[in-house]
Amino acid sequence: MAKYGRLTKYEVRPETTENKPKLKKSYLIKRLWKYMSAYKGLLIICSVLVVGSTILGLYGPNYAGEAIDAIGTAPGEANFPLVFKYFGLMIAFYAASAVLSYVLSRLTVRLSRNIIYKMRKDVFEHLSTLPVSFFDQNQSGEILSTLSYDIDTVNQSLTNDFLQICKSIVTVSGALYMMIKICPILVLVFVVTLPISIISSRFTIRKVRPLFRARSKKLGELNGYVEEITTGHKTIKSYGREEVMIERFDERNDTAIKAYTRAEFLGTIVGPAMGFMNNISLALVSVFGAVLFILGYGGITIGNISSFVLYSRRFAGPINELANIAGDLQSAFAAADRVFRLLDEPSEQKDPDDSIILDNVKGDVELRNVNFGYVKERQILKDISFSAPEGKMIAIVGPTGSGKTTIINLLMRFYDVDTGTITIDGHSIYGVTRDSLRKAFTMVLQDTWLFTGTIYDNIAYGKPGATMEDVERAAKAAHIDDFITHLPDGYNTEITDGGLNMSKGQKQLLTIARAMMLDSKVLILDEATSNVDTQTERMIQAAMRELMKGRTCFIIAHRLSTIEDADLILVIKDGEIVERGKHDELMNANGFYSSLYYSQFDAEDA
């Protein structure tokens, strides 16, 4: 039976975000562009600054060549006024380019911030729309890894690399134009070296992307494991299994590091290879340029050759950078693949257009011939039928894995039945909106959840605008008021780290007080008092019986002595209701319920 977070070992794990086929690169680019184009104004300004700073920077080598020619090749030929003029122009253009680059860097940070904010907001909001089954099938650590690491990886590459690509295109185009203008024949050197560089880089890129995808996957698995062992830290220590868990972490960490190393090694090898080819190109340009100068071809000068060499560096440099960017982009695509596959996870099915809003709820609940399995291969509930009239207490008992919590999952529409009907106040729960249905219920689970904030905030969580008197009244009914008032700041005491400085029982009492704040007509207690002592449990039951008058109450009980006054007890075994009735009736029947009841007392006596 799936609880509220994981599938059990008996259930088949459906296809998750990790084992789905990778998305096409064209699809990823299209999705990424949507995030960038959302800030068109800022993007256009950045693009203009990129073009402007690049063009200004391209004037420098030309004036450097002019200055060299003004110096001359023989003693006494130097025209220093002209040298200083060209030198001054070169400095002016480089300075203007630097100023534009500085402004560009500031705007790039703003653009990057906006994009990552929007992407992370979209992912978080989408998570809130996903069905419970998604969280049953995926590790929370992997989800957190996507929300933080993968989005950061996309952001690091997305804006900077896009603008760098624009800059590279302008630089390569401008440098090529200037080289052709200076000496077209020398450009033929790149006709030989450039195709070799492009072919080798394309081959490497095809090999790199799967490695970066594997890297993101392994890092996600590592984060999932860390989240798991962090949550279970006390259990690990109590069993003395620290060394074992460290060894398992080392194995996963080693696997993640190997995946990281393989991706980074192959991703970074492109840059040095391209650098080697560029240096070969420069050497050939220098040699052939010197030969052309000696031969007097086309009136080429030393200044021309010098400018050509500088432009050839500008031409080859961006190509080398593009090779390095290719590695970053593969990492970004792998991370984007995980982000968009998460965003593409289907949200909880929308309510039909003719769904009604459930209001003025009385609390009459009925299940008729309900059958359900988390996977088709294994049926969990088999032909379940019972009625829960308004204001009655229904207890559901049975062995672990019998299907008790699954009934609650179906009542709340965390999952939908395979066959059968569930109604509330005569309305099928599939004909009302999920929001109004769930507002008709209040749940208190065995696993407590407290968020960072004050005790008042936690108790008033489900009822915005609740007064302090309302909160205190609920706390007193849950027998937690005395504990709160003895805290230094009382109800304004901050709860941090999920309430690590509180006992499990105290945290459970706070969640019960939170449930008492709501006006819903149906209460669900899923072993909600399992973390408190027997005396406190009885006090809570008495207080809740008084508070919950006129409300329907479903109780999944572990200690059967706490449900003796239930209006109806359902005994579930292997997904079927094997017995039903009041406590005395079931005890007199000497059936499965009575054996469970006596076995608990035998265990306590032992």
Q: Where are the domains of the chain?
A: 25-343, 362-440+556-606
The pLDDT of residue 543? 62
- Rounded Cα–Cα distance for residues 54 and 101 (Å): 9
Give 151's contacts (C-beta < 8 A, 6+ positions apart). Answer: 116, 119, 120, 123, 335, 339
C-alpha Rg value of the chain to the nearest Å: 35
Distance (Å, whole) CA 46 – CA 160: 11
Least Cα distance to 514 among 562, 470, 553 occurs for 470
What's the CATH number for 25-343? 1.20.1560.10
* pTM given for the model: 0.70
H or E element in which residue 406 lies: helix 404-411
Highest mean pLDDT among 94-98, 220-224, 260-264, 535-539: 94-98
Q: Is 487 helix (H, G, I), strand (E, B) or coil?
A: coil
- Does the pLDDT value for residue 15 go beyond 80? no
Name residue 56's amino acid: L
Q: How confident is the model at residue 419 (pLDDT cuts 50, 70, 90)?
A: very high
Angle between helices 80-127 and 151-182 (to 10 degrees): 150
Which tops the pLDDT comparison, 291 or 120?
120
Q: How far apart are the first and last CA of the chain?
A: 30
Residue 269 near residue 207, CB atoms below 8 Å: no
Q: What is the pLDDT of residues 325-362, one digit of tens each?
A: 776 777 788 888 889 999 999 988 888 888 899 888 88
Residues contacting residue 306 through CB under 8 Å, at least 6 positions apart = 61, 64, 65, 68
| Burial (CB count <10 Å: 0-12, 13-18, 19+), residue 157 | buried
What the block records as the tokens of 120 is 């992370």
pLDDT at residue 13, rounded to an integer: 38
DSSP, res 375 = B
Collapse the DSSP code of 440 into the 3-class scheme (helix H, G, I; strand E, B; otherwise coil) and give the result.
coil
Q: Name residue, tokens 């690590």.
A: 500
| Fold adopted by 362-440+556-606 | Rossmann fold (3.40.50)
Quick: pLDDT tens for 448-457: 778 888 889 8
Angstrom distance (rounded) from CA 434 to CA 427: 13
Residue scoring higher pLDDT (325 or 172): 172
CB 582 within 8 A of CB 568: yes
Residues 280, 269: Cα–Cα separation, whole Å: 17
Per residue in 78-113, pLDDT (tens digit) is 677 888 888 888 899 989 999 998 998 888 888 888
Element of type H or E holding 566: none
* Dist CA 549 CA 521 (whole Å): 10
Higher-pLDDT residue of 563, 357? 357
Neighbours of 223 (CB within 10 A): 22
